[in-house]
Structure 1
Amino acid sequence: MKKLVYLLAILLGLNSCSEYQKALKSEDIKTKFELGTKLYDAGKYNKANRLFAQIVPNYVGKPQAEKLMYMYGMTFYYTKQYLAAGYQLARFEKSYPNSVKAEETGYFSAKSYYDVSPIYSKEQQETVEALEKLQLFVNKYPDSEYLPKANKLIKELDYKLERKAFEIAKQYNQIAYFESSDYEAAIKAFDNFLADHPGTSFREAAMYYRLDSAYKLGINSIKGKKQARLNTAINYYNSFKKFYPNSEFNEDIDKMNEEMTTALQQYNTKS
């Protein structure tokens, strides 16, 4: 009995493949549309996509065009061809703004750009574009059922950009340490980061590394610049302690402050 069922499954599979191959070669657009729809409903998106691609131009202006273009765009998404999906689904939403599928395609078009956003350490052009697309969706459909998902994606992308910016600023601090370079670039980088991302989750770490950079700059400065730079670093220390009195960095920064205070007292005594 099991062998019979297995044999029937093989025969049905072969028949399905044969039907699909015939449809691909056929010039009957109705056959392609019907089989493509059947394959789409069965989750066979690659095959459906190939059939739809052959007939899209033939359905321009026809009543079935809306359904066809919706399925065609979604087959790109389901087969992870995200750039094509983003384009085709945005095209659908623009062409059929009153469609019941407009909101859905608007969301998945925007999400397609999210899906190609790279890890934070790489160039973030796609991330910026994804943020723009998702924000446009949120603004256009404020009551959408997809709103919680869209906001979650926006939050993830924002975090990625923040981490990218934080790591770049942190590199200035590390490069200055290993190459004995000017710490002023690191301080400026962290100042810019904190100004651009006031609510960032990296705020504590950014303030710590800014203080660390200012401390090293002040301690190692020439006499003419030492006092002003140490005072600036001590101001950073006081600001840090104000906002993060129980920070994990406290032991480290307390040592910095002690050394800076001593150096400043010695400087004032000699002066």
Structure 2
Amino acid sequence: MQQRHISKGLLGILVVFFLGSCSPFSKLQKNGSDDEKYKAAVQYYKKEDWYRAGLLFEELIPVLKGSTESEMAQFYHSYTQFHQQQYLLSATLFKKFYETFARSEYAQEAMYMYAYSLYKDTPQFNLDQSNTLTATSALQDFINTYPDSKYRDECTKIILELRGKLERKAYEKAKLYYKTSGFNIASYKSSVIAINNFQREFPDSEFNEELAFLKVDAEYSLANNSLETKQKERYQEAIGYYQAFLDKYPNSKFIKQAERMYESSQKEIERLEKLEQEREKLKNPNNRPAKVTAAN
């Protein structure tokens, strides 16, 4: 019984294969002339049969080199890959097209589609953003090359979207360092550095108020967990961050928490300064005013 089922399955596969091998498309691939294949490829393209059109254009491009059809074959082939969501491949093909046919009426569109293909391949914000940087650069290059293009506004919109991804990635990175700081004192330092980098790169971000507060918190916590020899300097840093935070966000919901750290930092600095003075006295016990004696 089981063998009978296997035989039926195998027979079905053979039938499908046989019918496929006898299809008009297969016959065209095997026996069609270059002219017939090109016309068929264009028809498949117009019908949005990207797969068959792509197969034919890919086959034709080497043999059409130098002909009048070569330019359009390469242009259409690029789009067939784009519509099949092969974005890195379509980016490569569009780039090759505008470099090869720099004077073509389609060169501008191809350069845009190169950048747009890279954009479509960019990952979510929580993944590596190398592709996002590449896509942003390509879009900006397009705007610089064709400042009056009809694609300019769309490029600008996409650049802002990609910049938002980079902003969110940097924000989450800074927050991650902060969240893990309780397990590793080095993460306090990394958190402050990451926040400084974020504020410099995204000065108008909506996340800056929260991060400015977290920087005060991270530096204050770093001071608390540091060796005594480094505490005073780090409490002073925390006070400096607090003052900058207060100046920029005087009505922040984080103000009361930040004030407590500020006051505690001041008290700790006073305590540390007293300890320094006491140690200085112990080091120099004879450093006292000389006694005045009466002259004989």
Alignment TM-score, normalising by the size of structure 1 = 0.85
Q: Work out whether 1:20 is the aligned partner of 2:31.
A: no
Name the counterpart of 2:91.
Answer: 86
Q: State how far apart, in whole Å, the 2-side matches of 1:78 and 1:182 are.
A: 44
CA offset at residue 72 of structure 1?
0.9
Q: Say if 2:189 is the partner of 1:184.
A: yes
Note the 1:80-159 alignment, pairs <5 A. Answer: 80-159=85-164
| From 150, 162, 165, the counterpart of 2:167 | 162
CA contact (8 A) 1:39 1:45 kept: yes
Contact 2:125/2:165, CA 8 A, preserved across alignment = yes
Task: Give distance in 2, aligned partners of 1:59 and 1:223.
Answer: 77
Q: How far, CA to CA, are the matches of 1:248 and 1:21 in structure 2?
A: 69
Runs of 4+ in 1 over 6 A off after TM superposition: none
Contact 2:178–2:187, Cα closer than 8 Å, also in 1:
no
Are 2:177 and 1:172 aligned? yes
Verify: 1:34 aligned to 2:39, yes or no. Answer: yes
Work out whether residues 191 and 215 of structure 2, in 8 Å CA contact, stay in contact via their aligned partners in 1. Answer: yes
Q: Which residue of structure 2 lines up, in the alignment, with residue 194 of structure 1?
A: 199
1: CA distance, partners of 2:51 / 2:257: 58
Q: Which residue of 1 aligns with 2:79?
A: 74
Residues 32-74 of structure 1: CA deviation (Å, up to 9, x unaligned):
1111111111111111111111111111111121221111111
1:259 is matched with which residue? 264
The residue number in structure 1 matching 2:223 is 218
Distance 2:186 2:79 in 1: 53
Q: Distance in 2 between matches of 1:203 and 1:74?
A: 41
**CA 69–223 in structure 1, closer or farther in 2 if over 3 Å, else same:** closer
Instruction: Read off the aligned partner of 1:110 and give its amino acid letter.
Output: A
Structure 1 position 269, deviation (Å)? 6.0
Tell me, yes or no, if the aligned pair for 1:45 and 1:75 is still in contact at 8 Å.
yes
Cα separation, partners in 2 of 1:182 and 1:163, compared to 1, 3 Å:
closer
Say whether the 8 Å CA contact 1:175–1:181 is kept in structure 2.
no
What's the counterpart of residue 51 of structure 2? 46
Residue in structure 1 matching 2:243, options 212, 235, 238:
238
TM-aligned CA deviation for residue 181 of structure 1: 4.7
Tell me, in whole angstroms, the C-alpha distance in 2 between the residues paired with 1:249 and 1:87. Answer: 49
Contact 2:180/2:187 (8 A) holds in 1: no
Work out the CA distance in 1 between the residues paired with 2:159 and 2:86: 21
Contact 1:36 1:47 in 2 (8 A): yes
**Rg larger in 1 or in 2?**
2
Name stretches of at least 5 consecutive residues in structure 1 with no aligned partner. Answer: 1-13
- In 2: Cα distance, 1:217 partner to 1:83 partner: 44
Unaligned runs of 5+ in 2: 1-18, 278-296
Identity level (%): 31
